A and B are shown apart, each in its own frame.
Chain A
Amino acid sequence: MQMFLQFGHGMMAHTRELLSAWKSGAAILSPRDLTEPQLKKVAADIKKTGAEPLLDPQCFSTKADHYRLTKHTYWGVISQYPNEVFLGGIRTAELLAALFDLDRSLGIDRHILPAPLAGAINDEYFSACEAIIDEAPNHFGAEPTMITIALSSAVMLDEVQIENLIERARNWTNLTGFYLVAETPGAYLVDNPVWVANLLILASGLRLLRKSVVVGYSNHQMLCLAAAKIDAIAAGTWLNVRAFPPDKFFTPAEEEISRRSTWYYCPQNLSEYKLPFLDIALTAGLLNLMRPDPALGSKYADPLFQGLPPSTVNWGEQDAFRHYLTCLRAQALQIPQTSFVDAYDYLFRALDAAELLLQVLRREGISGQDRDFFPFLDVNRAALTRFRAARGQQLLRSW
């Protein structure tokens, strides 16, 4: 499984740095966070590295009013005809024509098609998706297209709606893939195993249609999606690109800056820590247990492990973000994809190993606070177990 970069606020420099090192993969551009000239510049930079730029049109709500998003040319069609762009006909054609022009100007040749956020999977939702899918070939020709599947947390907790969606998607034969974004019940990590299980079931159900599947707005909790053999997860820097909050397309922006903290991601226990807790780990003689495996290829956290109290070294959010994304990508690539059993067993072993380390650290008071993965270990175990019961037989044979 690959990990793509998900654009959010302040991602341009990170993208250049990381993709220059990786020389492959993809970055999903965000019109909410980039003006058209910025989109062109960053798309060109991405292509220079050998990676692929993708554009998320972010049409989750036609009522979105984010000032940068609504300034894009294609959004003009939505602003003018909010009730018509997903009905089919001339307005749908105008929206897709404008998006195609934008994609073309960015050198993009795999296209993410827009679709609204589904508050419920019903005929209205299918009509909106199918208006786009039916119109798309008139603009994108035979080029690969992925439809956006954006689901509310209420849908994500209802397996009948999830299954209705999978069944309907069997008919969407002219697509090459799905760009899946799922609203989380909370701000970041998900404590409901049903939500995680349904994401696994949905992603694999779409993948078993022999289409590519990219799950956007992901974080390390979604590494479990490797058991569904999806193509990629996409993650970014701030929490609002590591989980999907639909309201961010309405808010004035930049409010996240006021809540900045620097977090160190400990990949082997899937937890993040503020630097003072690393100081405690140093004092307790446990900091080395939190050092990332060199095989993950991140040198960004090296200053934290040179013997000084981590909070006293010059280690900021830039290093934290690059370390997180480097480790997450390496972790995603490490998960074996040789068979369902191999992937599934690996993920369970990783949870077991994380638990052992978390127990040691927690005994000494070293906590990731609300980013400590300990409460989420059983969430992911339950989700994976449920997923195996639902799809295991099929994946054993149709991996």
Chain B
Amino acid sequence: MNLAELATLFPSYSSFQAIAVPSGQKEVVSAFQGQRRVAIKLFHRVADDQERIDREMAAVSKLHCQFVPEVIESGIVTLEGVERVFLVEQFIEGQTYATLLQAQPVQAILPVVNLADILLNVAVDCESADLVHRDLKPANIIRDASGKFWVLDFGLVKHLDLTSITPTGHGVGTLGYAPIEQMRLMRAPIDIRADLFAIGTILYESLCGFSPWRQGVQDIHDLMQKMSAQELPRLTIPGDAKGELSAFIAWLVQRFPSRRPQTAAEARGAFEPINQAINSPVQ
């Protein structure tokens, strides 16, 4: 990446620094706009991906959520003779939740409840904007230096008000976090209930210390079979005396969408008393 050329293309920014990201789809450069640190994401313009990139940008632009980095600008630039789509957004410095789980696989109930609160708020905001993230997983969650969680990477976002660009029969998402309807094991359309499943899976993993759907499977066929035919065992969670958090998570990770909360707002509403009870237990 030619950072000097990049600086000429983005004159209102300074202190460019390349950042390694585990994605072949894009490159990320950090920079400063005055005191404010930003991330400049530069996407490779593969013809087939153009609409997907446009949709990610449109999604993040229309999503007003305090737990999703703010989009500052987007557009197209020619860098090193190649047209690139760019997106400039608020830079979040911190660790991914996947890294945190690697260091401490089993989390205590309080931070998990606080994470649940944030993820459900993101889901409610997505629902209001007719969006489904479709790739919620620990690697797409960052905890910043202040301890605040952020949700990143709307690269697989689905706009419920637009025609799908995913070919019929093709699953999308991350195995072990996306539900079976997203992996096309059943014929249900994708909606926010897919994100609720992923949220439930992240919470479950945080409390038991392993990826619950991937645990004990040999290959992708095993995984698909497990996800379509089995329910996860109910968790026993220290600090969840009445089992309400456990029951709530079990509701989110139901295999079939009709058995989960039907809306993010419904899930958020059901979670609120659990959140209060755990955060402010009666002495």
Q: List which A121-170 residues lie within 8 A (CB) of chain B.
A: 159-160, 163-164, 166-168
Q: A160-B186, A164-B186, A168-B187 are in contact. Are A205 and B258 (CB under 8 A)?
A: yes
- Contact: B266 with A164, CB < 8 Å? no
Q: Is A363 an interface residue (CB 8 A)?
A: no
Which residues of B are found within 8 Å of A398, using beta-carbon distances?
266
Q: Is A397 an interface residue (CB 8 A)?
A: yes
- Contact: A167 with B258, CB < 8 Å? yes
Q: A168-B187, A393-B247 are in contact. Are A163 and B256 (CB under 8 A)?
A: yes
- Contact: B186 with A394, CB < 8 Å? no
Which residues of B are found within 8 Å of A391, using beta-carbon distances?
259
Q: List which B242-279 residues lie within 8 A (CB) of chain A.
A: 247-248, 250-251, 254, 256-262, 266, 270
Q: A160-B228, A397-B266, A397-B270 are in contact. Are A390 and B259 (CB under 8 A)?
A: yes
Q: Is A389 an interface residue (CB 8 A)?
A: yes
- Contact: B251 with A163, CB < 8 Å? no
B217-254: CB near A (< 8 Å → 1, else 0) gives 00000000000100100000000000000011011001
- Contact: A163 with B186, CB < 8 Å? yes
B3-17: CB near A (< 8 Å → 1, else 0) gives 000000000000000
Q: Which residue of A159, A160, A390, A394 contacts B261 across the interface (Cβ within 8 Å)?
A: A394
**Bound Cα distance from A394 to B266, whole angstroms:** 10
B187-207: CB near A (< 8 Å → 1, else 0) gives 111000000000000000000
**Bound Cα distance from A182 to B227, whole angstroms:** 27
In the complex, what's the smallest C-beta–C-beta distance from A204 to chain B, in angstroms?
9
Q: Which residue of B186, B228, B258, B270 contacts A208 across the interface (Cβ within 8 Å)?
A: B258
- Give chain B's interface secondary structure class: loop
**Bound Cα distance from A223 to B181, whole angstroms:** 32
- Contact: A393 with B187, CB < 8 Å? no
**Bound Cα distance from A208 to B266, whole angstroms:** 13
**Bound Cα distance from A164 to B266, whole angstroms:** 22
Which residues of A are found within 8 Å of B188, using beta-carbon distances?
163-164, 167
Query: Interface size bucket, A side?
Result: 10 to 19
Q: Which residue of B181, B254, B257 contacts A390 across the interface (Cβ within 8 Å)?
A: B254
**Bound Cα distance from A164 to B256, whole angstroms:** 9
Q: A160-B228, A389-B231 are in contact. Are A394 and B259 (CB under 8 A)?
A: yes
**Bound Cα distance from A205 to B257, whole angstroms:** 11
- Contact: B266 with A159, CB < 8 Å? no
Q: A160-B228, A167-B188 are in contact. Are A393 and B248 (CB under 8 A)?
A: yes
Q: Which residue of B187, B251, B261 contacts A167 across the interface (Cβ within 8 Å)?
A: B187
Which residues of B are found within 8 Å of A201, using beta-carbon distances?
259
- Contact: A159 with B256, CB < 8 Å? yes
**Bound Cα distance from A391 to B260, whole angstroms:** 8
In the complex, what's the smallest C-beta–C-beta distance from B80 to chain A, in angstroms?
47
In the complex, what's the smallest C-beta–C-beta distance from B8 to chain A, in angstroms?
52
**Bound Cα distance from A160 to B188, whole angstroms:** 10
In the complex, what's the smallest C-beta–C-beta distance from B279 to chain A, in angstroms?
21
Which residues of A are found within 8 Å of B270, using beta-carbon distances?
393, 397
Which residues of B are found within 8 Å of A389, using beta-carbon distances?
231
In the complex, what's the smallest C-beta–C-beta distance from A272 to chain B, in angstroms?
35
- Contact: B258 with A166, CB < 8 Å? yes
In the complex, what's the smallest C-beta–C-beta distance from B58 to chain A, in angstroms?
26
Closest to A393 in B: B251
Which residues of B are found within 8 Å of A167, using beta-carbon distances?
181, 186-189, 257-258
Closest to A166 in B: B258
**Bound Cα distance from A168 to B189, whole angstroms:** 9
Which residues of A are found within 8 Å of B231, using beta-carbon distances?
389
Closest to A204 in B: B258
In the complex, what's the smallest C-beta–C-beta distance from B248 to chain A, in angstroms?
7
**Bound Cα distance from A205 to B181, whole angstroms:** 17
A160-189: CB near B (< 8 Å → 1, else 0) gives 100110111000000000000000000000
In the complex, what's the smallest C-beta–C-beta distance from B260 to chain A, in angstroms?
8
A194-235: CB near B (< 8 Å → 1, else 0) gives 000000010001001000000000000000000000000000
**Bound Cα distance from A166 to B248, whole angstroms:** 22
Which residues of B are found within 8 Å of A166, using beta-carbon distances?
256, 258
**Bound Cα distance from A394 to B181, whole angstroms:** 19
Which residues of B are found within 8 Å of A390, using beta-carbon distances?
254, 256, 259
Which residues of A are found within 8 Å of B187, using beta-carbon distances?
164, 167-168
Q: List which B72-123 residues lie within 8 A (CB) of chain A.
A: none
Closest to A167 in B: B188
Which residues of A are found within 8 Å of B248, using beta-carbon distances?
393
- Contact: B250 with A393, CB < 8 Å? yes
**Bound Cα distance from A138 to B257, whole angstroms:** 33
**Bound Cα distance from A380 to B187, whole angstroms:** 29
In the complex, what's the smallest C-beta–C-beta distance from B73 to chain A, in angstroms?
39
Which residues of A are found within 8 Å of B189, using beta-carbon distances?
167
In the complex, what's the smallest C-beta–C-beta distance from A162 to chain B, in angstroms?
9
Which residues of B are found within 8 Å of A160, using beta-carbon distances?
185-186, 228
Closest 6 CB pairs of A and B: A393-B251, A167-B188, A163-B256, A166-B258, A164-B187, A205-B258
Q: Which residues of B contact A (CB under 8 A)?
A: 181, 185-189, 228, 231, 247-248, 250-251, 254, 256-262, 266, 270
14 cross-chain CB contacts under 8 A:
A160-B186, A163-B258, A166-B258, A167-B181, A167-B186, A167-B187, A168-B187, A205-B258, A208-B258, A390-B256, A390-B259, A393-B248, A394-B262, A398-B266
| Contacts beyond the supplied A163-B257, A394-B262: 4 A-B pairs with Cβ under 8 Å | A163-B258, A166-B256, A167-B188, A394-B260
